[in-house]
Structure 1
Amino acid sequence: MEDTDSMAGMGMAQEHNHGHGMYFCDGEPVMTEGGSWIGHFMPGVVFLLWGVHWMQGIFRKYFDSRRPKGPEYRAQTVHGLGRVPAYVESCCKAFLPMIAISLELYFAHKGGWRTMVCPAGTPRAGHFYGPHMGNWQHASMYPPFILAGLVDLVGYEVELPYGTQQVFLFMAFVCETLLMALHKKHTPLDTAVHSVLMYTMAVTALFVLLELAQPRNFLISCGRVFGTLLQSAWFFAATHIMFDHVPFWDEAEGADMGPAMFVPVVFVALIVLVLAAMVLAFLGFNTFYKIRDARGAAYERAGLLEDEPPRHSAHSNTYTAQAAHCGAGVSATAVSAGGAVPLSTFASHTAGAAHAHGTSCQV
């Protein structure tokens, strides 16, 4: 009789969990939704800042390349911002995810460490602790980005093979995509929301790979920005859909398919919104550069500009640093005999050279 009651209880747990139950260490089923509001909102903030940062760097390089004596446009994985050199982005990529992992697995929880396996002495000793599986899945997305950041930093000291930084950034987004694709979900709405999130990650990874093949294609670089911003926008949308508990998104434990069917409508609307925002940003940069170039031409006609000093040496040194960082594959005649350029030497370049060329992972 007890076995029958136990089986009935398990059946109810499976019904509540839509066919794939998770359990506490005492054997009780997990009846609450996975994830948290802050756990979805904060990644949206991170990818928004990262996407906007990439956009300003890519747009600046593109408009600089259109100027009469501007350098050729080439894709790169990191960018500077004003007087902040590009290797700061590499440092952020390498070390900030470590903080995210510590929050995901320890500091953000009242119970402390999110143990993976139920301890001895509990009814489910040796089995996975169900409520913590989501934390471990989320935390496992960060190490590939840490590795990509560390490879960036190594590239400042060692001449890496052509496109190494791009490959590691691509693999970071691929790992993120795979983890989201294999993320076990519950109701149709939950599945739809996380499937769309997986698509945004896959799009970003695809454009990073295309940049490796077509480094001079500005539109492909814009595709990477688009994928990153779309991923951010969908994180914000998922936060609202899953955790704000508005009646509009109540699917009645999966019985109402309406919310899941409306997810693609929201996704398409966000695609249009992100594209429109990028077009407006492009027009803003275009206007800024036109005004700046017009003023520069007026000053030049009035004789208010000094003759431009020779730039061969600075350009050569900066390009050498780029090649050392990114494995750009330049010929031996284009790179000085030393090959790799130490980070200290690279950081000593003037702000102007850093702005024009940056610590670029050029391919």
Structure 2
Amino acid sequence: MGNFIGHVLPGCFFFIFGLWWIIRCSFIYYRGAGVSRSGSIRLWLPLRCCRRSERALVRFSYEGLIIIVCTLVGIVGELTWGDWQLVARDGHGHHAHFVHLNNFEHATMFSLFFIVGLITVIESMVSSSLQFPVGIDKLALALAYAVEGLLFFYHLDGRPGMDVRLHELLIYAILGCVGAVLLEIAFPTSLLCIIARSFCSLLQGSWFFQIAHVLYGSSPWEETDENSGFVVLAFCWHILGISMGSLVLFLCVSCVVSKCCDHRAASRNGWTKKECKEEESPMLQLQDQQEESSTV
């Protein structure tokens, strides 16, 4: 939908999941949640809260279910807004021209992310003998981002200059998501790749909000050279704000985990805070092993 709601809804989708992923990254680093025995980091495993509920969360991907629901809402909304009609016909029933292309482009974008959610749910429920190839969920996510970027690239034909500038910057954020997910496939134990994917998803979501405000807000911006130039500066401010917000989130999670570790250490036969943290964080153990092997 080429209106305010049509940009805010996908913005909420990407921003919420980017925020969720960056919080997960913090807990993965400090507690090791989501790290498999091989050291690879799962895409779909939700944040564990307690050991009793963890068993249920591992068997079913609530994160994937939320992706399925959100994308279905987006698909149905886009097609309903476009009257479920792609081809307009003349009075004789012959093909005349295509209509509602924007709605079908957005529905196609949501459909690729629907497949991502479907894969993560199935992967979390099937037995070990029916598991998908390792990293198939990340490959599906990279494909979804790539198709999104392709659609937006050809979405710019015949649009005003500032509209083109806004969507070009959005494409840069999408390309960052594609590159980050592909790096995750190549380096499954790297937390930095997940942080990059989370950061670019947050940037993509916040920039959708900016596009909605500039083009369809209560006071749409005028088509001037000054406004077009300020758009690039605003994009850099989004990068700065997300960087600072991510840093604050990491610090907050560090404080929370540190307090929890102090509490557990006091009740575990005199364990120290360092021993408790190492026992809770396979990611930290894996990083120590990698550092030791590199020094040797």
TM norm structure 1: 0.65
**Corresponding position: 1:101 with 2:75:** yes
Task: Tell me which residue corresponds to 1:273.
Answer: 241
* 8 Å contact from structure 1 (residues 50, 228) kept in 2: yes
Instruction: Summarize the alignment of residues 145-184 of structure 1 with structure 2, pairs less than 5 Å apart.
Output: 145-155=113-123, 156-157=125-126, 158-184=130-156
* 8 Å contact from structure 1 (residues 176, 201) kept in 2: yes
* 8 Å contact from structure 2 (residues 156, 167) kept in 1: no
**Corresponding position: 1:60 with 2:33:** no
3-state SS of paired residue (1:126): strand
Amino acid of the structure 2 residue aligned with 1:280: V
How far apart, CA to CA, are the structure 2 residues paired with 1:271 and 1:152? 29
Amino acid of the structure 2 residue aligned with 1:266: A
**Who wins on radius of gyration, i.e. which is larger?**
1
Spell out structure 1 runs of 4+ moving beyond 6 A: none
Amino acid of the structure 2 residue aligned with 1:290: S
The correspondence for 2:163, drawn from 180, 190, 193, is 190
| Identity across the alignment (%) | 26
How far apart, CA to CA, are the structure 2 residues paired with 1:285 and 1:71? 23
* 8 Å contact from structure 1 (residues 57, 79) kept in 2: no
* 8 Å contact from structure 1 (residues 234, 267) kept in 2: yes
Q: For residue 133 of structure 1, report the CA deviation from its aligned partner.
A: 1.7
Closer/same/farther in 2, CA of residues 197 and 122 from structure 1, 3 Å limit: farther
3-state SS of paired residue (1:140): helix
Task: Tell me which residue corresponds to 1:16.
Answer: none
The correspondence for 2:96, drawn from 123, 126, 131, is 126
* 8 Å contact from structure 1 (residues 65, 72) kept in 2: no
Closer/same/farther in 2, CA of residues 119 and 62 from structure 1, 3 Å limit: same
Q: For residue 187 of structure 1, report the CA deviation from its aligned partner.
A: 0.6
List runs of 5+ in structure 2 lacking aligned partners. Answer: 272-296
Task: Tell me which residue corresponds to 1:36.
Answer: 3
Greater relative contact order (Cα < 8 A, sep 6+): 2
The correspondence for 1:226, drawn from 199, 213, 222, is 199
* 8 Å contact from structure 1 (residues 51, 228) kept in 2: yes
**Corresponding position: 1:287 with 2:259:** no
RMSD: 2.5
How far apart, CA to CA, are the structure 2 residues paired with 1:42 and 1:113? 19
**Corresponding position: 1:79 with 2:45:** yes
Amino acid of the structure 1 residue aligned with 2:256: F
* 8 Å contact from structure 1 (residues 207, 220) kept in 2: yes
* 8 Å contact from structure 1 (residues 53, 79) kept in 2: no
Q: For residue 125 of structure 1, report the CA deviation from its aligned partner.
A: 5.4
* 8 Å contact from structure 2 (residues 13, 70) kept in 1: no
Task: Tell me which residue corresponds to 2:62.
Answer: 88
More helix, by proportion: 2
Moved more, 201-210 or 143-152: 143-152
How far apart, CA to CA, are the structure 2 residues paired with 1:200 and 1:46? 15
- Aligned positions, number: 256
How far apart, CA to CA, are the structure 2 residues paired with 1:142 and 1:227? 18
* 8 Å contact from structure 1 (residues 63, 286) kept in 2: yes
Moved more, 155-164 or 264-273: 155-164
Superposed CA offset, 1:217-239 (max 9, x none): 11111111101111111011111
Amino acid of the structure 2 residue aligned with 1:118: A
* 8 Å contact from structure 2 (residues 23, 250) kept in 1: no
How far apart, CA to CA, are the structure 1 residues paired with 2:234 and 2:244? 15
Q: For residue 212 of structure 1, report the CA deviation from its aligned partner.
A: 1.0
How far apart, CA to CA, are the structure 2 residues paired with 1:71 and 1:118? 55
Q: For residue 79 of structure 1, report the CA deviation from its aligned partner.
A: 2.9
**Corresponding position: 1:113 with 2:78:** no
Task: Tell me which residue corresponds to 2:222.
Answer: 250
Superposed CA offset, 1:201-257 (max 9, x none): 11111111101111221111111110111111101111111112537x211xxxx22
Closer/same/farther in 2, CA of residues 121 and 42 from structure 1, 3 Å limit: same
TM norm structure 2: 0.79
